[in-house]
Structure formats: structure tokens, C-alpha cells
Structure 1
Amino acid sequence: MEYLSFELPIKDLMDQYQTCSLVGEESGVDVKLACSQIEDKIIEKKKEIYLNLTPWQRVQLSRHPDRPYTLDFIKGITDKDSFLELHGDRNFADDPAMIGGLATIDGQRVMIIGTQKGRTTKERQHRRFGMSNPEGYRKALRLMKLAEKFKIPVISLIDTPGAYPGLEAEERGQGEAIARNIFEMTMLKTPIFVYIIGEGASGGALGIGVGNKVYMLENTWYTVIAPESCSSILWRNWDHKEDAANALKLTPQDALQEKFIDGIVEEPLGGAHYNPQTAYDHLKTSILQNIKAFSKFTGKELETQRQDKFIAMGQFKG
């Protein structure tokens, strides 16, 4: 387990607990009481830290190297061997940073799309750290149109630091691809449920982020720009990233208060990486509840509800 800087007090207690257990095993001395007391301290320290996270600490948790990524969540919520990945935008190429395909969740057919990062250095380069090219967004739109044709709900899983900013991406119409997705998603006549499972930055997230319901997992963030980028623009360096995180109002609680999202999906104490199966179960439950709630909606009702939802966002002050 890798620990973040603010988690080091927990690491110290975990080391003490492991030492205590090892002493008991090797010496035969009864250390159950001592180990139990340390275990209680670990629980107390976790609550003290994780129930009082700053916005920047939540950003750090969303990027934890052990945190489940989109493919992990797909494997965790879908029926065994049911996910069939589909490739290509039928125009230019396939984009490994944007994945999508058909699957079943407790027998319910769904189309799942999402941004995928990578574990190893080679995989991160291959998937461009979860930053999609235009062909990725066009592939996602193709799959959503396919879902509409067969009346299958769309599940969108977002974990991206933003759309890929490379020259080639701009030459192939990055801005147009994202704008086209936003435009088309408002008019799709099939249910769309969006879940931010990690990072949710800028247009890279919005390109697959228009849904009838939008949720954030507990230790994620969603805003117009990454805190480091905001800091570099306003203060010309990254030193003020914590101030930027506070000002951006990027936490799930902030987004829910501003009515940008519809709810927060609970994570295990400490983050999804502490107990991935629990995180998968919570996400799966939310998805199935939403599919059931929207199952009676007509295509036109789904379209109208989605449009009204996004039109109502924000405030106009004359």
C-alpha cells in the first residue's frame, strides 16, 4: 500500500500493528490486547483524517496509484465475462484512452464508456494518462448512438485530467469533437448515467458527461481546470495548487450544493483502493437503481429531462 503525505500517521500505526503481530507469531507471547489497542487507534486516526479532508487532499486521493480505474470498475460491476469492448470511431482510428463496449449488470444490458489511465509506465503512455484524442470522443458518440438504436442505457465512467492537448489532437478537431458530443448527448433518446470515478477535469470530462443523472464518488473532483493548471495561470507556478483547489469548489459536496450533480456514491473509509469490492458494490447499486427509475421514460421524456437539467444549472444576474 502506498501512502500519501497526509496519510503517514496511519502508516506509522500500521507499522506498529504489523510489528505487534509479528512479535506474537515469533515469540508465542499473547499480544492480542496490545494489537487490538493499536487497531482501535488506526480506526480513530482514519476517521480523524478521512472525515476532515481538504479539497486538495481529496484531489490527491482521486489520483492514488492504487485506486481502481475504469476497467477495474467495469470488471467489478458487470456480469462475469460479459464486457465486449468495441473499437474505432469509423473515421480515423481507435483511441486506447477512451474505452467502451456492451455488457450486462445482473442481466441488464448496458453500454459502458469511459476514460482509462494506466498502471505501468508503458500503459500510461499508451493510454496517454486517460486523456482522449478526438477519435476517442467520436468513438464514444458512435457507441452511444448504437445504444440509442437498441434502447440500451449508457453508463459513462469519467476519470481524466482533461482532453489530450497535443498538436495532432487539435489538428483533428479536438474542440469540435467535444462540442459535438455535448450537443448530441443532450438529444439521445436513451438513458445516460454519468459517474465521476476519479478525476473530472474540463472539457475532457464534459465530452462524455451529459446525463440524465450525474454522480461523483466520494473521493473525486469535478471542475473546469486542474488545480495545478489554475495555479500556474494565476500565480505562474504550482505552489498555490491548494489555494486553487479551495477556490475551484471541486469536491463532490460543492458540486452537489451547486446542483451540478445529483448525488454522491459512498466509498470505503480511506478511498476506493482500501476496499475496491465495496466501491464496486455501491456503484453497481446506484446504476441499477437509476436504470429502474428511468425504465418507464419515453425517448422524448429522457431527452427533455436531460436538457432541462443542464439548462437549469448556474445563475443569471442582470
Structure 2
Amino acid sequence: MSIYLDFEEPIKALELQIAKAQEIGQDAELDMTDKIKALEQKLEEKTIEIFSNLTPWQRVQLSRHPERPYTLAYIDAITHGDFQELHGDRNVGDDKAMVGGWGSVDGKTVMFIGQQKGMNTKMRQYRNFGMANPEGYRKALRLMKMAEKFNKPIVTFIDTPGAFPGLEAEERGQGEAIARNIYEMMNIKVPIVCIIIGEGASGGALGIGVGDKVIMLENTWYSVISPESCSSILWRSWDYKEKAAEALKLTSEDMKRLKLVDGVIKEPISGAHRNKEEMFSIVKREVKRQITLLTKLDPIERCEKRMKKFTDMGVYQ
């Protein structure tokens, strides 16, 4: 049984009507073809209407949809199962919220890195809800350095509500680990493509988000703070999260317009969670395209362009 968000209820109602019509047709041996076609046409029109007019808060909700594909699903689909996960930061341990390793994309080796959320309660606890500790970011940097050593491109998938804010994470240097990754990623000589597939929150996203190309899926968000946290700070309540989402300008359209990301990948009309296979195919095509274009550049020129892109952001004197 699919999970529907509140604004998807009209879609749910039409899908139930279609299922009921099909059931009546089978049980009573009636020709319901015309009725079903009319309902399917209505469903398509309603889906386009809803998903063409989403508010920033609704896009935030979609980015967190429990049926939305996560990092390992993208990696498995893009590499057709030819993925070798690597573990540990060679210092503290292996952070389950951050995954990475070698994968093959149509015969070409790529280093994949990303935050992984869980598909159910047990896995979410195991993956710490996609919130990495310092050792997760240090593992990511170790794998990036390995990719640089073997001259292989890097693809990162960003999907995190933020870096883990626990006391033990701070004791092990959470801020330093993220800052080190940002610094090092500026100068890594191989192509880096960063794709935001869900939530892109704060330093948790930036820790693997410095790339030659930073691209967002259509129904994702990228911001220094979540709408709920922003609302609780400014209004001392979560009740203003929709207003905060609007003010933060965190959608893919806002980020592209403000030149904070390089591109937006369109999702299937009903969202990535409703048509995963098509979404995987679109992302794979974009990964191959970006790697091909970036590989043509000289490494020094590529690093200079990457650094200039980020230093041009914002206003400073």
C-alpha cells in the first residue's frame, strides 16, 4: 500500500476508483474499459495540476517521502549491482550513515559516496537517520583521496537532515571534519559531481557537497537550516514551518535562480517516489553526461573553476 501525503489525497481517491472499477469489471465480467480510461485521464490531469503548483513546504515533504529512493538505491541502479562498498575512516570506526565505494557505470569506474537513510524504523536507527558523525565525513574524504590517487571521478549523493549534533560527535570534531572536507574538496584533481536527491541540510550536506557541478533533483531542498528549526528559532514554535520554508528560498528553482547550484534534474510528474526506475535512468544519464564533460577539462583548470564558483557566491568586501 502506497503512502500518500496530505496534498496527494485527490490522487489516492482517483487511484482507488480505478482499482474499484477494475475489480467490478473482473467480478461481474463487465466491460469497464471506457470508465477506466476516463478515470485514468482524470488522474493524469489531477497529478499534473497538483505537482505543477507545489509550495516550498510541499517540496520539503516530498524530499522526505518514506518511499523516495535513497543513496544505495541510486548506486545499485546506476551500477546494475556492480558496487563494492568500502568501510571505515581508519581512525574511529565505520559510520553507517555515510556509504561509499567503487562502482561501474557502463564500464567506467566511479567513486560513489552519499548519506544513507533507512527504509524502516530498524534501518533508520542503524543508519542514524542519515546523520553522519565525524568518522563518516573522514571516511568520505578517505575515499575521495583514493579516487584522486587512481584518477577516477567522484559522484556524491546528498540526502541528510544535517550532521549528527550529539555531544560525542562534537567531542570527536564534527565541525573540523566538515571544514576539512570542504577545504580538501576544493583541490581534489578529479571531477566531482554532487547530486541532492532528498534533504540538503546545513553543514551535513556541505561536507560532501563541494563539486564541479552541484545538481538538485526537482523536489528537493538545500538550506542552512530546516524549516522546522528556523520556525522554532524565529517564532518559538514549529507552527510556522510553511512560512519559514517560503522565506528560506530552499527549493531547487530558488537555488538555481540564485546561482547556488548548477542545475535541476526534472523528476517524473508524480515525483521520484512514484516512478523510481525512470528517476534512476534520468540520474544515470546526467551522471554520465557530467563526467564526460568534466573529464575533458585540465585538472588545474577544473580546480580553479570549482574554487571560483564557490568564492563568487554571496556578498563580501
> What is the TM-score with the length of structure 1 in the denominator?
0.98
- CA-to-aligned-CA distance 1:98-148 (integer Å, 9 cap, x gap): 000001111111000000000121111111100000000000000000000
Aligned to 1:117: 117
- Equivalent AA in structure 1 for residue 29 of structure 2: G
Give distance in 2, aligned partners of 1:89 and 1:302: 27
Q: Which runs of 4+ in 1 moved over 4 A?
A: none
Alignment of 1:279-318 (within 5 A): 279-316=279-316
Deviation of 1:307 (Å): 0.2
Matches for 1:12-161 after TM superposition, within 5 Å: 12-78=13-79, 80-161=80-161
User: Residue deviations 1:167-199, cap 9 Å, x none?
Assistant: 100000000000000000001111100000000
Q: Secondary structure at the match of 1:253?
A: helix
Pairing 1:112-261 to 2, within 5 Å after superposition? 112-261=112-261
Which residue in 2 is equivalent to 1:276? 276
Q: CA deviation at 1:11?
A: 0.7
1:297 deviates by: 1.8
SS at structure 2 position matched to 1:286: helix
Report the AA paired with residue 37 of structure 2.
S
Deviation of 1:294 after TM superposition, in Å, equals 1.3
Residue 81 of structure 1: how far off its partner (Å): 3.2
Partner of 1:294, secondary structure, is: helix
| Cα distance per residue 1:12-57 (max 9 Å; x no partner) | 1111111111101111111111111111110011011000000000
- Counterpart of 1:8? 9
1:315 CA drift (Å): 2.9
Amino acid at match of 1:51: S
State the secondary structure of the residue aligned to 2:239.
Answer: coil
Deviation, structure 1 residue 266? 1.3
Greater Cα offset, 93-102 or 81-90: 81-90
Alpha-carbon distance in structure 2 between the residues aligned to 1:52 and 1:315: 31
Residue-pair matches, total:
316
CA distance in structure 2 between the aligned counterparts of 1:116 and 1:217, rounded to whole angstroms:
16
Whole-angstrom distance in 2 between the partners of 1:91 and 1:189 = 24
SS in 1 for 2:268: coil
1:301 Cα shift?
1.4
C-alpha separation between the residues in 2 aligned to 1:27 and 1:246? 50
Q: 1:81 to 1:36 in 2, by over 3 A?
A: closer
Q: What's the offset of the Cα at 1:313?
A: 1.1
Unaligned runs of 5+ in 1: none
Listed as ranges, the gaps of 5+ residues in structure 2 are: none
Distance 2:263 2:108 in 1: 22
Equivalent position amino acid for 2:278 in 1: T
Give the partner amino acid of 1:253.
E
- What residue identity is the alignment partner of 2:122? K
Equivalent-residue separation in structure 2 for 1:76 and 1:54 (angstroms): 30
Q: Measure the CA separation in 1 of the matches of 2:81 and 2:32.
A: 45
CA distance in 2, matches of 1:178, 1:141: 10
Residue 298 (structure 1) shift: 2.2
Shift of 1:296: 2.0
* Structure 2 Cα separation of the partners of residues 150 and 252 of structure 1: 33
Name the Cα RMSD after superposition.
0.8
**Separation in 1, partners of 2:62, 2:175:** 29
Identical aligned residues as a percent = 58
Q: 1:47 & 1:217 partners in 2: Cα distance? A: 17
Q: Which amino acid aligns with 2:27?
A: E
